[in-house]
């Protein structure tokens, strides 16, 4: 948002604070200033000049001119403008400004430049050099002066619709600088309205005001008006439209002018659009509306989309002689929805979205009447003000005690006089008696901004300056809250996985229908997002696997092998209740080459690290799993997840195994932290045992059988390897024996080994 320092100064009596300092003060006390830049410094040097002679240069479109510049004398200037001619008054730019130098063009010396309105930064007009109707050579360009632009971050003004105009910002600057703010008259002559107004939904349009003017002359605006609009980023169009834009930038009140001759029925109707109703707009587009859009209409249909853009057929043209000037107030959320739905953001919609002050409409029309009389000589007001107003509920007076304000601000020496002076300077009504304040809120701060006494603390605090408040630590003891058990567990789990070479990935909690369908996840089980943040993110995930699969394929193109994991939440619908969110772990081990067996053993090992004493049991493969490499992970006789390899058709290259654990179940079933055990004092004995097995026998089943029959002295039973030969398959295990109070004898070890051999022989031979 750009603010002209000169424009601000016109609203403040005796402003002397320099622009750079104003920018710093605004940042500290009102809104974030993004920069302060000089604008139009060349106007201190550009002068009116008279073209004495203009002779064409043969073979070119150029002319060599003799120009009386007054201040700089008579100069020879080469000019290529089509309208350059002897006797005209134009603008002369001396060398050293706007990049102009003394040069030789087509062999002719040129000292300076004759400039167009665009080159001077007055307007976008560049079809020829600027022409003046009157003026003396050497005089400054009337109404065009050097300025400074203060740029404010729009986001810091979101809650302050009054600051979207120069008058509102001037109020802040006046309070900061300690200078009085000049008032803007809001008086209009009495008379019967020249147009009838009907508002069908007062909630969507609390106020609609209008004036009718005749004997209008549509022409270019005076240079001062064009230059001022250009300085704040608005394009001059014609005197009528420029006045509406000027007031939008001055009072933050969007306005619109209709060609009254093009309106039908003598009545303006504010209503919701009909389903499928078209509205041709000023930008040449025709928008198809529905009942969520508010329109301004006449007897023939919409003449504008309320708060967003005017209609094309009723637009001002060079032939316009009668206008209807509108200033209205609309419901902020309604305008925001319309603007978003139509993908049409305008200067007007951005202001209405902030909840404008309904009182501002009449003030803007009164100011517009004065301006139109300056820029369109002979213009006449027809009748009086047409104004239909449904007042909004007033903000109740706010009460507080000085002691409360002191405590909230941490400023024990704050006086009642200081509080009164600060609030009065920014136009609050203040009544104070014995330290008790009653404050009334001005209309432009009552639109969702100020309603509580805590809001007034901010007003007083920012005007004092937060840098002037002494920081004091709280008087109550502060302690770090305990870490929630779930967060502590997940943090530890992340540390465990990264320490073992796994890289964490983060995915959005959204999937699309194609991803869900590919893995056979029912679409109807997903929660659908009404307003997805991007295309392809319309479903809340019920599994981490769709995005994990995408991660695998993305990384498989770059790496021979990798390990990664994600800890995230599955989101499951629960009818009318809020969805259930279940934390899950998905860990991946990938190899581009090989048979993939190592990946499964790696993740089985990882599962044992995360959930000690868990076991793995074969399970029926799901459609996206390898048909012979899928299993359930069991802990305390309850399934806590799955270990599987993605079906080869799902992975573009290589083999990828996945461990998917329900972390809620893992936390609930895991054992308590182990107790310290001293080192063994006596040695152990170990022996290997090879067991002939069936082709599809599970190592875990055999290991469990051996553990069951090894007796109480068996400290550990561990699978080593299996062997497949001509005589079938066998598995080898290592059994470690030991006693806590002695060294086992050879006879004891032999007896246990013989006992196991007999049990295995009976079971597997």
Query: Could you give the C-alpha distances from 575 to 376, 524, 526, 527, 572, in angstroms and in order?
Result: 65, 11, 11, 10, 10
Concatenated DSSP letters for 614-649?
-EEEE-PPPTTEEEEEEEEEEETTEEEEEEEEE-GG
Tens-digit pLDDT profile for residues 710-762: 988 999 999 898 888 888 899 999 999 999 899 999 999 999 999 999 998 88
Q: Which residues contact 502 (CB under 8 A, 6 or more apart)?
A: 563, 564, 565, 587
CA 62 to chain centre: 51
| pLDDT tens digits, 70-79 | 999 999 999 9
Average pLDDT of the chain is 93
CA geometry: angle at 346 spanning 342 and 348, to 5°?
115
Q: Are residues 556 and 519 in the same domain?
A: yes
> Could you give the number of structural domains in the chain?
6
Cβ contacts of 576-583, under 8 Å, gap ≥ 24? 579/527, 579/540, 582/662, 582/663, 582/664, 583/486, 583/490, 583/662, 583/663, 583/664
Given pLDDT bands bounded at 50, 70 and 90, which one contains residue 327? very high
The residue from 389, 424, 449 where one domain ends is 389
pLDDT band at 124 (very low <50, low <70, confident <90, very high): confident
Q: Distance between alpha carbon 14 and the CA centroid of its chain, in Å?
A: 39
Helix (H, G, I), strand (E, B) or coil at 172: helix
Question: Is the per-residue pLDDT at 186 higher than 80?
Answer: no
Same domain assignment for residues 655 and 746: no
Q: Domain check: are 434 and 543 in the same one?
A: no
For residue 136, being part of any structural domain is answered with no
Q: From CA 113, how far away is CA 91, in angstroms rounded?
A: 8
754 located within any domain: yes
Distance between CA atoms of 578 and 571, rounded to whole angstroms? 10
Q: Pick from 253, 163, 232: which is nearest to 3 by CA?
A: 232
Looking at the domain assignment, is residue 495 inside a domain?
Answer: yes
In the predicted structure, residue 531 carries a pLDDT above the cut 90: no
Return the percentage of the chain with pLDDT > 90, whole number.
83
Three-class secondary structure of residue 126 per DSSP:
coil
Place of tokens 């930008």: 283
Is the CA virtual torsion 340, 342, 344, 350 positive or negative? negative
Q: Shortest CA distance to 488 belongs to which of 667, 674, 669, 675? A: 667
**How far is it, in rounded angstroms, from Cα 78 to Cα 55?**
10
How much is the pLDDT for 726?
A: 83
For residues 383-406, give the mean pLDDT. 94
List the domain range (segments joined by +) for residue 23: 2-40+147-177
Residues 238 and 369 in one domain: yes
Whole-angstrom distance, CA of residue 720 vs CA of residue 733? 5
Q: What is the per-residue pLDDT for 131?
A: 94
Name the H helices within 302-439: 332-342, 347-352, 360-375, 402-409, 416-425
Mean pLDDT (whole number) for 176-205:
92
Asked if 536 and 663 sit in the same domain, the reply is: yes
- The verdict on 566 and 442 lying in the same domain is no
Whether residues 631 and 711 share a domain: the answer is no
Residues 694 and 617 occupy one common structural domain: no
Q: Rounded to an integer, what distance in angstroms lies between the CA atom of residue 165 and that of residue 7?
A: 10
Q: Indicate which CATH number applies to the domain containing 505.
A: 3.30.930.10
Which residue shows structure tokens 């840098």?
467
Domain of residue 345, CATH code:
3.50.40.10
Residues 6+ apart with CB under 8 A from 765: 692
According to DSSP, residue 470 is labeled P
Q: Provide the 10 A C-beta neighbour count for residue 633.
A: 27
Cβ atoms of 263 and 322 closer than 8 Å: no
Residue (of 115, 161, 145) closest to 43 by Cα position? 145
647 and 509 share one domain: yes
Residues 321-335 have a mean pLDDT of: 96
Find out whether 384 and 192 touch, Cβ atoms under 8 Å: yes
Domain for residue 679, yes or no?
no
**pLDDT above 80 for 245:** yes
Give the pLDDT confidence score for residue 76 in this predicted structure: 95
Q: How many CA atoms lie within 13 A of 743 on its CB side?
A: 4
CATH code at position 171? 3.30.56.10
Query: In Å, what is the CA distance from 339 to each residue of 292, 293, 303, 308, 345?
Result: 11, 9, 17, 7, 6
What is the pLDDT at residue 117?
93
Confidence of residue 274 (pLDDT cuts 50, 70, 90): very high
Q: Would 121 be classed as within a structural domain?
A: no
Closest C-alpha among 133, 369, 340 to residue 240: 369
Give 496-529 pLDDT, tens digit per residue.
999 999 999 999 999 999 999 999 999 999 999 9
Q: Residue 672's pLDDT band (boundaries 50, 70, 90)? A: low
Structure tokens at 519: 């893995």
Same domain, 517 and 647: yes
Q: List pLDDT tens digits, range 49-66.
A: 999 999 999 989 999 999
Domain annotation covers residue 10:
yes
User: Is 124 a member of any domain?
Assistant: no
With tokens 């567990």, the residue in question is 489
pLDDT for 483 beyond 90: no
Q: Where are the alpha helices (DSSP H) in 182-291?
A: 223-231, 239-251
Per-residue CA distances from 690 to 155, 718, 723 (Å): 74, 12, 10
**Residue 691 belongs to some domain of the structure:** yes
**Quick check: 673 pLDDT over 70?**
no
Question: Using CA atoms, how far apart are residues 108 and 318, in angstroms rounded to an integer?
Answer: 41
Q: What does the alpha-carbon distance between residue 75 and residue 594 come to, in Å, rounded to a whole number? A: 86
CB distance 306 to 205 below 8 Å? yes
pLDDT of residue 481: 86
Which pLDDT does position 697 carry in this prediction?
85
Pairing of strands 503-504, 510-511: unpaired
Select from 140, 61, 136, 43 the least CA-distant residue to 97: 43
| Chain Cα centroid distance, residue 2 | 20
Which of 64, 98, 114 is where one domain is finished?
Answer: 114
CA–CA separation, 530 vs 539, rounded Å? Answer: 9
What secondary structure does DSSP assign to 271-331, as a single string?
A: EEPPTTEEEEBTTS-EEEE-TTSEEEEETTEEEEETTTEEBSTT---TT---EEEEEEE--
Q: Which residue has the tokens 């509406």?
A: 244
Check residue 475 and give its pLDDT. 77
Residues 63 and 50 in one domain: yes
Of 468, 494, 509, the one marking the end of a domain is: 468
pLDDT band at 553 (very low <50, low <70, confident <90, very high): very high
Tell whether 10 and 152 lie within a shared domain. Answer: yes
């Amino acid at each position: 948002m750009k603010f002209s320092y000169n424009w601000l100064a016109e609203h403040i009596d005796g402003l002397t604070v320099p622009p750079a300092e104003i920018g710093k003060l605004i940042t500290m006390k009102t809104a974030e200033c993004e920069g302060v830049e000089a604008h139009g410094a060349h106007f201190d040097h550009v002068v009116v000049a008279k073209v004495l002679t203009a002779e064409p240069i043969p073979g070119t479109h150029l002319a060599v001119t003799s120009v009386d510049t007054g201040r700089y004398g008579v100069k020879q200037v080469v000019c290529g403008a089509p309208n350059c001619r002897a006797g005209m008054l134009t603008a002369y730019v001396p060398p050293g400004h706007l990049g102009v130098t003394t040069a030789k063009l087509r062999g002719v010396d040129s000292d300076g430049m004759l400039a167009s309105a665009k080159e001077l930064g007055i307007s976008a007009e560049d079809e020829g050099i600027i022409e003046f109707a009157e003026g003396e050579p050497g005089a400054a360009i009337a109404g065009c002066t050097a300025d400074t632009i203060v740029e404010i971050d729009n986001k810091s003004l979101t809650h302050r619709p009054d600051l979207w105009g120069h008058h509102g910002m001037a109020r802040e600057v006046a309070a900061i600088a300690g200078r009085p703010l000049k008032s803007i008259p809001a008086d209009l002559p009495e008379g019967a309205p020249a147009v009838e107004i009907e508002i069908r939904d007062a909630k969507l349009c609390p106020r609609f005001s209008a004036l009718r003017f005749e004997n209008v002359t549509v022409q270019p605006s005076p240079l001062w008006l064009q230059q001022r609009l250009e300085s704040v980023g608005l394009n001059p169009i014609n005197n009528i439209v420029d006045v509406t834009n000027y007031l939008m930038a001055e009072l933050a009140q969007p306005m619109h002018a209709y060609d009254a001759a093009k309106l039908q029925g003598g009545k303006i109707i504010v209503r919701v659009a009909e389903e499928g109703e078209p509205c041709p707009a000023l930008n040449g587009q025709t928008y198809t509306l529905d009942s969520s859009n508010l329109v301004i209409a006449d007897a023939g249909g919409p003449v504008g989309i309320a708060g967003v853009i005017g209609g094309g057929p009723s637009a001002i043209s060079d032939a316009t002689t009668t206008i209807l000037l509108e200033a209205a107030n609309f419901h902020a959320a309604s305008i925001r929805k319309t603007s978003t739905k139509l993908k049409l953001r305008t200067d007007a919609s951005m202001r209405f979205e902030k909840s404008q002050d309904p009182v501002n409409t009449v003030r803007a029309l009164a100011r517009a009447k004065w301006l139109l009389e300056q820029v369109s000589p002979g213009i006449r007001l027809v009748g009086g003000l047409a104004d239909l107003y449904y007042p909004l509920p007033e903000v109740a007076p706010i009460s507080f005690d000085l002691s409360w304000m002191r405590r909230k601000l941490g400023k024990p020496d704050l006086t009642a006089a200081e509080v009164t002076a600060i609030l009065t300077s920014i136009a609050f009504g203040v009544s104070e008696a014995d330290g008790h304040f009653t404050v009334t809120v001005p209309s432009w701060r009552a639109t969702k901004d100020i309603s509580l006494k805590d809001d007034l603390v901010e007003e007083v605090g920012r005007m004092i300056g937060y840098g002037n408040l002494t920081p004091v630590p709280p008087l109550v003891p502060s302690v770090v809250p305990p870490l929630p058990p779930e967060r502590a567990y997940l943090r530890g789990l992340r540390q465990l996985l990264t320490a073992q070479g796994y890289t964490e990935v983060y995915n959005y909690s959204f999937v699309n229908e194609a991803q869900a369908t590919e893995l056979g996840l029912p679409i109807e089980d997903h929660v659908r997002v009404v307003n997805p943040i991007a295309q392809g993110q319309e479903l809340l995930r019920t599994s981490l696997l769709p995005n994990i699969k995408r991660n695998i394929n993305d990384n498989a193109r770059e790496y021979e092998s990798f390990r990664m994991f994600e800890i995230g939440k599955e989101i499951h619908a629960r009818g009318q209740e809020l969805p259930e969110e279940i934390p899950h772990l998905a860990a991946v081990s990938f190899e581009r080459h090989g048979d993939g067996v190592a990946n499964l053993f790696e993740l089985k090992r990882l599962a044992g690290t995360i959930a000690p004493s868990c076991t793995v049991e074969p399970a029926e493969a799901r459609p996206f799993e390898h048909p012979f490499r899928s299993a359930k992970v069991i802990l305390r006789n309850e399934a806590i997840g799955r270990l599987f390899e993605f079906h080869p058709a799902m992975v573009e290259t290589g083999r990828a195994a996945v461990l998917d654990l329900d972390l809620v179940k893992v936390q609930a079933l895991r054992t308590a932290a182990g107790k310290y055990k001293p080192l063994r004092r006596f040695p152990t004995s170990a022996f290997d045992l090879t067991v002939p097995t069936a082709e599809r026998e599970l190592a875990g089943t055999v290991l469990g059988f051996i553990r069951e029959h090894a007796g109480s002295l068996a400290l550990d039973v561990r699978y080593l390897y299996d062997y497949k030969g001509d005589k079938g398959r066998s598995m080898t295990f290592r059994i470690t024996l030991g006693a806590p109070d002695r060294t086992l004898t050879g006879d004891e070890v032999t007896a246990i080994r013989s006992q196991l051999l007999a049990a295995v022989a009976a079971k597997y031979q």
